[in-house]
Chain A
C-alpha cells in the first residue's frame, strides 16, 4: 500500500513539472495535444456522412463497435481544405466530459513527434482579437525554435459548442 502511494507520488511530481504532447501539423502550423488524451492514431478511412451538420463534422466511423465522430481540424479552424490521401491521419482523442467518456477522431495532415514540455515554459495564448478564434488553444510552447500551439482537448471535444454552431448553420440555410 505504501509502495503504491510512493509511485503515485513520483508520477505526480513528474507530471507537475513537465507534460508530454503529441504534435501534428495542419498546413504550416504545428499543434500539440496532451498525450494522455490520445487513444490511438489511425489512417483516414471513408466515413458515413451525417446529414445536416456543419461541414467540418465529416461523419462517423465504426471504431471496434463504437460509433465515433470524425472532425476535420483544418475546416474547424477555417484553414484551406486539403484532399484526403492514404497519408492523412486521424488522431483519436478521448476525454471525460460531463461525467462520461467521449471519443472523437480529428483529421490532421500528419503526426510529427512527442515532445516533453515543461509546465513553466507554456505561455498563454495571446489575444488575436476576433480574427482568430483562440477558444480551443490552451497555450503556446517553444520546441526546438518552433512554436507549438497547444490545444485544449476538452474544449475541442465539447459538442455543446458544436451544437450552437450547428444551429447557426441551420439559420443560414
Chain B
C-alpha cells in the first residue's frame, strides 16, 4: 500500500517527454489529404500512455487535459472527423502546453493555469466545431465542474463532502499513513484539512508510534461517495469516520472557520507541534517531490544488444584474468609464452570493452534533429516563407554529451538560415529559384570527427555587405584586406548583425559568437562557405567523443606530455639552415612554403632536465590547433596511445598551455597540450 511513487516520477517524465516528441513528429508528418490511420494510432497511443501515467501518479491536470486531446484523436482515428490543418495546429499547441505542464510539475513550479485553460478551450472549440457529439458535450460539462468525468451523476455531491476522520491510536502500526490518504483525497478535488491537536499528550508521554491526531476534511468538487470510500477502505475498522455531504452554503463558512482555527493553532502551539510530530500537515507531497528531484539524474536508453555484447566481453575478461592468475600461481620460465598470450588477450579484451562502453554513450544524432521539423514548420509559417527541411544522416551516432550540447547552437544556426538565408517566396521566384526554399541538415563521420552541416539555398552571404557592416560597427579597420574566409568569419564576432531589422527570430547580434564559443568548448570548429545568390553552408566539426583521445606522447627531459594525434601534421628533424630569427628573438622555420614559429617546450614549460637544447638535437613536431600552426621542439617522440581525458579543473585550475590531463599506463599523470595556448604562452 505504501509504495513511494516518487521514485518512478523521473521515469514517467522521461517517457512522457518522449511520448510528446512522438506525437509532435507524428502530427507534423500527417498528410492532410490522405491520412494514414497508423500514424494517428501512433499519436493516439502516445497520448494515451501520458494520460495513463499522469493518472497513476496523480497529476490530474495533465490527465484531464490529455483526455480531451485523446477524444479528438479518437474521432480522427475512427474517421468520424476530418483531419484538418486547424485541428493539427490545435493539437500541436496542446503538445506544447502539455510539455509546459509536465516541466512545471517536474520543476515543482505551479502550472500556468491560464495558458492551460486557453489551450483547453481551443481544443474544445475544435471538438465542438466539428460534428457536435455527445461525448464532447459530456466533457465540457465535466470540465466546468473542474473534475474528472463521472459516469452517473447520482450519489455524488455537487459541492463536496465533509469528512471527520478520527483514527485510533494504533493506526500507524498497521502501516497506514494518513498523509497518503489525504494526498489521494486531494487528487479528487480541492481539499481543506483541519487537524485536531487536542489528543496530543505532553512530550513526556508521547509515544511516537501512536497516532494522537484527528482530522476534519473538507473536500470540494464533484466527487462520488464511492471514491472517498475507496480511500478509507483500509482503515475503516481502525478509526471513527463520518462522511457527510457539504451544503454549498455551509462550505465557505466552514472553510473560513478552518482558516481562522488553523491560523490560531499555528500561532499558539505551532512551533511546539512542528518539532514533536512528523510534519504531516506541512504540504507533505511537496517535500517528498523535492527529495525525488535531488536524486533525479540524467539517464540514457540503451539498446539491449549493446548491453549483451558488454556482458559477453566482461565474461571474456574474467576468463582471461583467471587464466593469468593460474599462470602466475607457480610461475616458471617455460610459461612465458602462456603469459604473453594472456597479456595479448587481456589487451584485446580491454580495448573491446572500452569501445563497447563508449558505444553505450553513443546516441543517434536524430535525437537532436527530430526537433527541427517542428521548428521549421512554426517559423516558416510565422515568417510567411515556404521552406522544406531535409534531414540526412540522422542515424550517425555521437556521444551523449555532444548531443546535449550541440542542440542549442544548431537551433540558432537553423533559425538564422530561416530568417536571413532563405528569401521570401516572391523574391525567390524573381531570382529564378523554386518558390520553396530548402534547408538541409546533414550529419556524417569524417575521420575521428563528426561533421554536421546546415545548408540552405537562400541568398548567401554578401561579402561586401559584411565588410561594410563590420567597418560601420567599428569592428574592422576600413583598409583591412580580408580573404573570403575571413570575411565570413566576421559574422562570428560579438555585436555583429546584418539583419535590417531586429525580429524576435534573430538579429540582435548576440548568438553567432556564442555558437562559435560553444562549439569550440566542445573541441570542435565551425566554418562557413557561401555562394552569393545560391545559399550558404555552415559546417560544424566535432570530436566523436569527449572522453577519449588519440594521443602522441612526447618526452621533454624526464617529463611526458600528450599531443592530440589529430593536431599533428608531421615530425621533422631540422638543420640550422632552416631556422630564421625574427627581431633576434622569435625563431621560425620554413616548412615548404610556410614560415612557422618554433615553440621550445623546455623553455615554455621550464623543464630543467631537457636533454636537447640545440634545435638539431631534438625533434620538431609540426602541429595545428584550431588554425594555429607551429613547430613544437621536443626531445623525443615516445609512442601513440589512446588516453582517457581527465579534467585538471575538477580539483585544480586551468593551466595555460594545457587542456587537460590523463593517466598513463604506469599510473602517473601526463598533461595534454593545448596548442593555441602554448603558442600564446611562448609569445609572452
Contacts and interface: CB of A to CB of B under 8 A. Distances in A.
A61 B655 CA distance: 15
B669 A52 contact: no
Nearest to B653: A159
B651 A49 contact: no
Greatest chain B CB density within 10 A among A1, A104, A159, A162 is at A159
B606 A48 contact: no
Contacts, number: 68
B663 A65 contact: yes
B653 A60 contact: no
Interface stretch (A66-74, A114-122, A143-151): A66-74
Interface in B628-684: 646-648, 650-653, 655-658, 661, 663, 667-671, 681
B559 interface: yes
Contacts of A49: 559
B653 A163 contact: yes
Interface string B67-100: 0000000000000000000000000000000000
A40 B656 CA distance: 30
Interface string B593-627: 00000000000111100000000000000000000
Contact of A60 (B208, B278, B657, B669): B669
Contacts of B559: 48-49
A129 interface: no
Interface SS of chain B? loop
A72 to B, nearest CB: 15
A2 B606 contact: no
Interface in A9-46: 46
B172 to A, nearest CB: 11
A104 B653 CA distance: 12
Contacts of B648: 60, 67
Given A1-B278, A66-B650, A67-B661, A53 B655 contact: yes
A62 B656 contact: no
Contacts of A66: 646, 650-651
Nearest to B670: A48
A158 to B, nearest CB: 11
A21 B646 CA distance: 32
Contacts of B646: 65-67
A115 B614 CA distance: 57
A50 interface: yes
A2 B208 contact: yes
B655 A51 contact: yes
A67 B652 contact: yes
A143 to B, nearest CB: 31
Contact of A52 (B208, B656, B661, B670): B656
Interface string B440-477: 00000000000000000000000000000000000000
A51 to B, nearest CB: 4
Contacts of A155: none
Q: How large is the interface on A (under 10, 10 to 19, 20 to 34, 35 or more residues)?
A: 20 to 34
Q: How large is the interface on B (under 10, 10 to 19, 20 to 34, 35 or more residues)?
A: 20 to 34
Interface in B522-558: none
Given A2-B278, A51-B604, A52-B605, A62 B653 contact: no
A69 B661 CA distance: 12
B655 A52 contact: yes
A65 B647 CA distance: 10
A62 B651 contact: no
B331 to A, nearest CB: 28
Nearest to B652: A69
Contact of A67 (B605, B656, B669): B669
B668 A48 contact: yes
A52 B654 CA distance: 12
B669 A48 contact: yes
Nearest to B655: A50
B212 to A, nearest CB: 13
Given A66-B651, A67-B647, A50 B208 contact: no
A127 to B, nearest CB: 30
A39 B652 CA distance: 17
B456 to A, nearest CB: 41
Contacts of B671: 48, 50-51
A154 interface: no
B650 A67 contact: yes
A102 interface: yes
Greatest chain A CB density within 10 A among B208, B604, B605, B653 is at B653
A99 to B, nearest CB: 13
Contacts of B669: 47-48, 59-62, 67
A34 to B, nearest CB: 19
Nearest to A69: B652
Contact of A103 (B651, B653, B656, B657): B651
A52 B652 CA distance: 14
Nearest to A2: B208
B633 to A, nearest CB: 15
Nearest to A50: B655
Nearest to B607: A51
B506 to A, nearest CB: 34
A103 B650 CA distance: 9
A69 B655 CA distance: 12
A106 B605 CA distance: 23
Contacts of A65: 646, 663
Contact of A68 (B651, B653, B655, B668): B651
A107 to B, nearest CB: 15
Contacts of B651: 66-69, 102-104
A62 B667 contact: yes
A102 B650 CA distance: 7
Nearest to A6: B208
Contacts of A51: 604-607, 655, 657-658, 671
Interface string B278-295: 100000000000000000
B70 to A, nearest CB: 40
Contacts of B208: 2
A96 to B, nearest CB: 12
Nearest to B657: A51
Given A2-B278, A61-B669, A162 B655 contact: no
A49 B561 CA distance: 11
Contacts of B657: 51-52
Nearest to B604: A51
A67 B653 CA distance: 11
Contacts of B278: 1-2
Contacts of A162: 653
A2 B211 CA distance: 13
Nearest to A157: B651
Contacts of B653: 159, 162-163
Given A60-B648, A67-B661, 17 more contacts: A48-B669, A48-B670, A50-B655, A50-B658, A50-B671, A51-B604, A51-B658, A52-B605, A52-B655, A52-B681, A60-B652, A61-B669, A66-B646, A67-B652, A67-B663, A104-B651, A104-B652
Interface of A: 1-2, 46-53, 59-62, 65-69, 100, 102-104, 159, 162-163
29 contacts: A2-B208, A2-B278, A46-B668, A48-B661, A48-B668, A48-B670, A50-B652, A50-B655, A50-B671, A51-B604, A52-B606, A52-B657, A53-B655, A59-B669, A60-B652, A60-B669, A66-B646, A66-B651, A67-B646, A67-B647, A67-B648, A67-B650, A67-B661, A68-B651, A68-B652, A69-B651, A159-B652, A162-B653, A163-B653
